[in-house]
Structure 1
Amino acid sequence: MLKIGITGQAGFVGTHLYNTLGLHPEEFERIHFDKGFFLNQHQLEQFVSQCDVIVHLAAMNRHNDPKVIYDTNIELAQKLVDALESTKSRAHVIFSSSTQEERDNEYGKSKKVGRELLYNWSQRSGGKFTGLIIPNVFGPFGHPNYNSVIATFCHKLAHNETPTIAVDSELKLIYVGELVEVLLSEIRNANSKAEMIVPYTATAKVSEILHVLEKYKSEYQDKGIIPEIHSTFELNLFNTFRCYMDIATHFPVSFVEHTDDRGSFVEIIRLGVGGQVSFSTTVPGITRGNHYHTRKIERFAVIKGKALIQLRRIGTDEVLDFYLDGDAPSYVDMPIWYTHNIKNIGDEVLYTNFWINEFYDPNDPDTYFENV
């Protein structure tokens, strides 16, 4: 079993990599990292000494003074080199650099110099080194005004603000989940590569991205419509946008119920994508679910009985409770990377409609069990 440590474990890419490694407990052991380790040589050395693989993601991306960015990133790389040398480590170090290396800015320069420092260590020590040159990364839980323009746009739109475009450039992009798969591949292959260009998976102008996200805001957040999705890139954009909404206040969403002397009619979902619709009955006191998805879009609609739907983002402790009642039909959508369940808290059988955007595939279920 490989012991994996991630500097920058709590950051944007680090969180996704850490959580994904947790899906393979038979293959990987995660060695905990805290950013305070860089301030304590003994703790950093203790961390390094436990690791077969170290993915060095810790870096500063933004600061008012570019020199602070440069100095900070070089210092982090040098401290890691010092710890590797003092522990006589021969770990496989995977370094995340950036296509910014090509540009004349302090961040790009710092990543290039940091990559060279760690490569030189590997040559001296007999350790392994992989230097990844990574394009623009986007995905759920990135920090607005820091990680990417997509994070900024999603945050602003989801909170009813108006994004602005500074420069309408064409971006070369990779979804964070796709980048994690590249990292896992390099961990498993264990090959040294002084420089490896990570291919981008999509290109789009900033204005084109904003247009698509505005559509998601209008159709999904404002009207509850699952929008038409034409590509994997658009699916990744949609799942990214959903994670910037204030889930705790947005759900549950009440349906519009049309009633006459025959009874009532409720429209469950409008969608521009296909998928699978199902329903379940649940006897009182029973809980279903306690699992999460990393790509699927899912809606739970309670049409009869009383239910408690709970959500918790993986890696966090806060549990969101939503109480639904078939007397006032409503729904809750499941964001990716949120474990969720549904419990019958009433005295009668609970009837729930489920919609998911893809057919169930037992060979690729995208379903991971974890109690809320």
Structure 2
Amino acid sequence: MNILVTGANGFLGKNLIAELRNKGYNDIFEFTRESDFSLLEKYTEECDFVFHLAGVNRPKDENEFMEGNFGFTSKLLSLLKKHNNTAPVLITSSIQAEKDNPYGRSKKAGEDLLFNYYKETDVKVYVYRLPNLFGKWSKPNYNTVVATFCHNVARDIDIQINNPDAELNLCYIDDVLEEFLRALEGTPTIQGDYCKVPITHNIKLGELAELIKSFKENRIHLSIPNMENALTKKLYSTYLSFLPEDKFSYDLKMNCDHRGSFTEFMRTPERGQVSVNVSKPGITKGNHWHHTKNEKFLVVSGEGLIRFRKIDSDEVIEYRVSGEKLQVVDIPTGYTHSIVNVGENDLVTVMWANECFDQEKPDTYFVEV
């Protein structure tokens, strides 16, 4: 299948082309603002489906709105008619098409062209009035306020908020791509005359700003956002895509002594805490028990011996562990326990606890195994 994508270098175009290729669609005609117009003649003759994503949303001259959103669409449809090409056409409009402003009027004019094209030719057309899109590869100060906030917060640049109570309707790029693939397969989500992306999210501008700021603070507190919230999960992925390329990594505080080190990796109020423990050969760590706190130990390198004893018993239980065979050992409550490095190299253990460490209530009682 030959697929024509106009606006191929834009935010939506780049993401769509990448996903089309992921799905095995390799015959893609990419048309951009820089492309020779003569290519459009060839593409409109040979394509089997059209994703018309090209448009103008921030021109220097308001007249460019109508030329880019109406004029180019008119030329595209004329070429398809010329070649008697009945390929379905999907066009991206905007919720702004409902408003009486230069941008909205130009998008509405483009929509009307598509509907008239359908009436004249009976060719399938899919008109999507998209809300505010966000996701990777979007441009700050151009595509979306989400991109601007993510870009600025990641670089310690102030963000401007005129009305924190302003309501935003957001749509994530991956949800758009899933819907567009459904349209490509002939099963779009239709509501009245228009098609729509079924998954959108509402949030106030001030809440959006605070949430994105919290993503930057996560590194300091070693916290992870609540990924059960779909919008938070999508915004966090978007924020990470805006990190400066020299800021992908960040240091952790290593608590080191002659025995090795203990380093907290991440913590969440609802899912507990993950740490990395390094023990030198011959070193024993632990020899304590907990009332409620429970843990999981995973040795990823070296050889160790995990020993348990119920505090009211003399029986010692032993588990030999090694990075050669990854297995998780649960640390039940009421058992004093220790881990000994019985190998010749450092013993590296990933440790999960069901709660974050609280200095005021450590729930840790030292008793030899």
Compute the TM-score of the two structures, normalised by the length of structure 1: 0.68
1:190-205 matched pairs, under 5 angstroms: 194-199=193-198, 201-205=200-204
Structure 2 Cα separation of the partners of residues 208 and 226 of structure 1: 18
Shift of 1:272: 5.3
Structure 2 Cα separation of the partners of residues 71 and 129 of structure 1: 21
Shift of 1:197: 4.1
1:251-330 matched pairs, under 5 angstroms: 251-271=248-268, 274=271
User: Does the 8 A contact of 1:12 with 1:142 survive in 2?
Assistant: yes
TM-aligned CA distance change 1:352 to 1:10, over 3 Å = farther
Q: For 1:71, which of 45, 56, 67 is the aligned residue?
A: 67
1:345-360 matched pairs, under 5 angstroms: none
Structure 2 Cα separation of the partners of residues 83 and 7 of structure 1: 14
Q: For 1:126, which of 108, 122, 126 is the aligned residue?
A: 122
Structure 2 Cα separation of the partners of residues 10 and 352 of structure 1: 46
Q: For 1:43, which of 31, 36, 39 is the aligned residue?
A: 39
Compute the TM-score of the two structures, normalised by the length of structure 2: 0.69
For 1:137, give the aligned amino acid.
L
Structure 2 Cα separation of the partners of residues 351 and 157 of structure 1: 35
* Equivalent in the alignment of 1:184: 181
* Equivalent in the alignment of 2:169: 172
For 1:206, give the aligned amino acid.
L
TM-aligned CA distance change 1:97 to 1:354, over 3 Å = farther
Runs of at least 4 residues off by over 6 Å:
275-279, 348-355
TM-aligned CA distance change 1:36 to 1:272, over 3 Å = same
Using the aligned pairs only, state the percent identity.
31
* Equivalent in the alignment of 1:158: 154
TM-aligned CA distance change 1:7 to 1:350, over 3 Å = farther
User: Does the 8 A contact of 2:175 with 2:197 survive in 1?
Assistant: no
Larger Rg, first or second structure (1 or 2)? 2
User: Does the 8 A contact of 1:4 with 1:51 survive in 2?
Assistant: yes
* Equivalent in the alignment of 2:139: 143
Residue 203 of structure 2: SS of its match in structure 1? strand
Q: For 2:30, which of 30, 33, 38 is the aligned residue?
A: 33
Paired residue total:
284
In the alignment, structure 1 residue 7 sits paired with structure 2 residue 6: yes
Structure 1 Cα separation of the partners of residues 47 and 88 of structure 2: 9
* Equivalent in the alignment of 2:329: none
Q: For 1:238, which of 236, 239, 245 is the aligned residue?
A: 236
TM-aligned CA distance change 1:351 to 1:135, over 3 Å = same
Structure 1 unaligned regions, length at least 5: 280-302, 306-347, 356-372
User: Does the 8 A contact of 2:225 with 2:232 survive in 1?
Assistant: no
User: Does the 8 A contact of 1:45 with 1:86 survive in 2?
Assistant: no
Shift of 1:271: 3.7
User: Does the 8 A contact of 1:12 with 1:141 survive in 2?
Assistant: yes
* Equivalent in the alignment of 1:94: 90
Structure 2 Cα separation of the partners of residues 228 and 189 of structure 1: 36
Shift of 1:63: 2.1
Structure 2 Cα separation of the partners of residues 56 and 352 of structure 1: 53
TM-aligned CA distance change 1:354 to 1:11, over 3 Å = farther
TM-aligned CA distance change 1:242 to 1:202, over 3 Å = same
Deviations 1:84-134 (A, max 9, x none): 122211000011111101111111111111111122223323321111111
TM-aligned CA distance change 1:258 to 1:197, over 3 Å = closer
Shift of 1:188: 1.1
Structure 2 Cα separation of the partners of residues 64 and 78 of structure 1: 22
Residue 30 of structure 2: SS of its match in structure 1? coil
* Equivalent in the alignment of 1:227: 225
TM-aligned CA distance change 1:166 to 1:257, over 3 Å = same
Deviations 1:232-264 (A, max 9, x none): 111001111111111x31133333221222222
* Equivalent in the alignment of 2:210: 211
In the alignment, structure 1 residue 62 sits paired with structure 2 residue 58: yes
Shift of 1:351: 7.8
Structure 2 Cα separation of the partners of residues 43 and 275 of structure 1: 57
* Equivalent in the alignment of 1:314: none
TM-aligned CA distance change 1:269 to 1:185, over 3 Å = same
* Structural RMSD (CA): 3.1
Structure 1 Cα separation of the partners of residues 119 and 346 of structure 2: 66
Structure 2 unaligned regions, length at least 5: 277-299, 303-344, 353-369
Shift of 1:34: 2.8
* Equivalent in the alignment of 2:15: 16
